[in-house]
Amino acid sequence: MNTYVAMLRGINVSGQKIIKMDRLKSIFESMQLQEVSTYIQSGNVIFQTTETDKIVLRGRIESTLKESLGYDIPVVIRSNDELDEVVRRNPFAVTELLEDEKVYVTFLASQPTAEAVEHFESYNNDVDDFRVLNREVYILSRKGYGKSLFSNNFVEKKLKVAATTRNWETVNKLADLSRR
């Protein structure tokens, strides 16, 4: 069995696309996925399956969610090994962060083009620092994510791929839960 984490984009935010986690869990279980559990209300689902093709899996999850809920929910999937690698690759020294600094990871649904990444890197500024590494954007937010230029919508628009963002604590917890 393969262990994956599905991260849903834009649910339970500002009263929009409200989904109770027990309902979300039952939707995933209806797809014959195994050992399904959820973590916090932002749409993180840990599960096991024999499926190895993440593109097929993502399509199946997105279509089942639309059928069950009546609206589109973009989904980003990472394996437990990929999440471990995301944690290992963090370019920012989290033990040395100043009081207001926080690290976020924007998970990209697919690899952005080299041209899109090059253009994105032109948005370097003094408020935030960031690194695009494979299918993740690591963001060091110095003044709070709400004031960051690198909102999820901004990243999606500039890199031209679907994405969803999680704070560093959530990334670590998902990696931990996916290893159990």
Per-residue pLDDT reduced to its tens digit, 66-79: 999 999 999 999 99
Task: Give yes or no for residue 14 having a pLDDT over 80.
Answer: no
In order, the DSSP letters of 88-122 are HH--S-GGG--TT-EEEEEEESSPPPHHHHHHHHT
Neighbouring-strand partners of residue 78: 5
Structure confidence at residue 147 as a pLDDT band (50, 70, 90): confident
Q: 2-82 belongs to which CATH class? A: alpha beta
Answering whether pTM is above 0.75, one says yes
Which residues are CB-neighbours of 108 under 8 A, at least 6 positions away?
76, 135, 136, 137, 155, 159, 161, 162, 163
Neighbouring-strand partners of residue 167: 104
Structure confidence at residue 92 as a pLDDT band (50, 70, 90): very high
Fold category of 85-178 in CATH: Alpha-Beta Plaits (3.30.70)
Q: In the chain, which segments carry CATH 3.30.70.1280?
A: 2-82
Amino acid at 132: V
The CA-atom distances, in angstroms, between 128 and each of 31, 33, 67 are 40, 39, 39
Task: Give yes or no for residue 130 having a pLDDT over 70.
Answer: yes
| Phi, psi torsion values for 88, nearest 5 degrees | -65, -35
Task: Give yes or no for residue 100 having a pLDDT over 90.
Answer: no
Q: Are 11 and 42 in contact, with CB atoms under 8 Å apart?
A: yes
Amino acid at 61: I
- Which pLDDT score is estimated for 134? 93
Indicate the average pLDDT of the chain.
93
- Which pLDDT score is estimated for 15? 67
Q: What percent of the chain has pLDDT over 90?
A: 81
Structure confidence at residue 160 as a pLDDT band (50, 70, 90): very high
